[in-house]
A and B are shown apart, each in its own frame.
Chain A
Amino acid sequence: MHEMSIAESLVDLIEDEARKEGFGRVKRIGIKIGALGHVEPTALEFCFDAASRGTVAEGARLEMHMVPGAGWCPGCHSSVAIEQRYDLCPACGQSHVEMTTGDELRLTELEVE
């Protein structure tokens, strides 16, 4: 379950921020997760609880914002929504869509005290 490594990486990043910004506790954490990425939100939440214990992030609320999948269709020359990484273009049904969003894994916001 690579969500544990991702949770540990998230806690590491937050602890770096705590050192830089001088905060002692995190109340809320905002992250973006791509819907077509490799992260299972429930598993990440579970792992975050374990990984944050004894750190500035312990007890923080983890807000996960899902980013829907979208891509560029070289046939239609337009941006289209996709449900899976390897979808054909839903408009023309022909071209292999190049994914542009949906693979995110980013820390975007910390509410701290």
Chain B
Amino acid sequence: MCTICGCGTVTAEQREDHPHHHPHDHGEHGHHDHWHGEDGSITFGAGAAGVHLPGMNEERVIRFERDILSKNDAYAQANRARLLAAGQFALNLVSSPGSGKTSLLVRAITDLEARFAIAVIEGDQQTSNDADRIRATGVPAIQINTGKGCHLDAHMVGHALDQLPLQPGGLLFIENVGNLVCPAAFDLGEAHKVVVLSVTEGEDKPLKYPDMFAQADLMLLNKADLLPHVDFDVGACIGYARRVNPQINILTLSARTGEGMSAFYGWIDVRVRNATQDVTYVAG
């Protein structure tokens, strides 16, 4: 059961007896419409909206300052606390469609699964193709289908966490919906956002989509094996990314050949170690 909204869920690899639907009006916390499918997938954004509340006739003006995404942020903080307590290091992978996120994950899982317990949350509008590819490597994966939605949000991820076996010291990869705009606005509770850009795209994408590159702590420049065949200026791309985000770390690699992947694993190792030390320090 989801500890945040109390919604019942299914396990990662097992089916529940029947698919079920949560309507929009879900008590006090603004629950999304979603369906738990027979294959363990969770589908959002396919239902009708709303309740109407009886009113009063007195006119008045209420003034306040409230972040419109405060509910998502609250779910994200709950996810973050839960991941920390479970000893999980979570990365939120964002990119445009086709940058090679899933291939990069498959390679990373193959190389890292001897050292880490790995779990994956896959976000796409439709199909469980990506989760199927991840499961073929032997690690648990939950597919979230966002339906109309163009991004994952923290509430969806909270439900996926219910279904994943999270082992202490584990790595959780969240592969967001392929989209360089919308996922930038939604904190999922991850430790870091990692933006993947491939050399078959334009090198000025950091300038065209600055929100995403401004939010990411790491940029992976993927498909480096294709550099001899494309007009992609690596130096210019790195310069654009640093203009938007002077602190961003940048690694050039190829998920296909494995070139540069060890630097990505080193980046993960350092941050996992730091996160563990932080927990020890807090506990001590």
Contact = CB atoms under 8 A, between A and B. Distances in A.
Contacts of B55: 23-25, 56, 113
A19 B28 contact: yes
Contacts of B192: none
Contacts, number: 127
A55 B51 contact: yes
A113 B63 contact: no
B181 interface: yes
Contacts of A11: 49-50
Main secondary structure of the interface of A (DSSP, over half): mixed
A86 B247 CA distance: 12
Interface in A31-84: 31, 37-38, 51, 53-56, 84
B48 to A, nearest CB: 8
Interface string A9-32: 111110111110111110100010
A38 B185 CA distance: 7
Contacts of A106: 65-68
Contact of A5 (B53, B186, B243, B246): B186
B49 A84 contact: no
Interface residues of A, number: 43
Interface string A91-104: 00000100000000
Contacts of A25: 55
Contacts of A16: 28, 30
Interface of B: 28, 30, 49-72, 148-151, 153, 181-182, 184-186, 207, 210-211, 214, 243-246
29 contacts: A1-B150, A2-B181, A4-B148, A6-B69, A6-B185, A10-B68, A12-B71, A13-B68, A15-B53, A24-B53, A24-B54, A31-B68, A53-B49, A55-B49, A55-B51, A55-B52, A85-B211, A85-B244, A105-B68, A105-B185, A106-B68, A107-B64, A107-B66, A108-B64, A109-B63, A110-B62, A111-B60, A112-B59, A112-B62
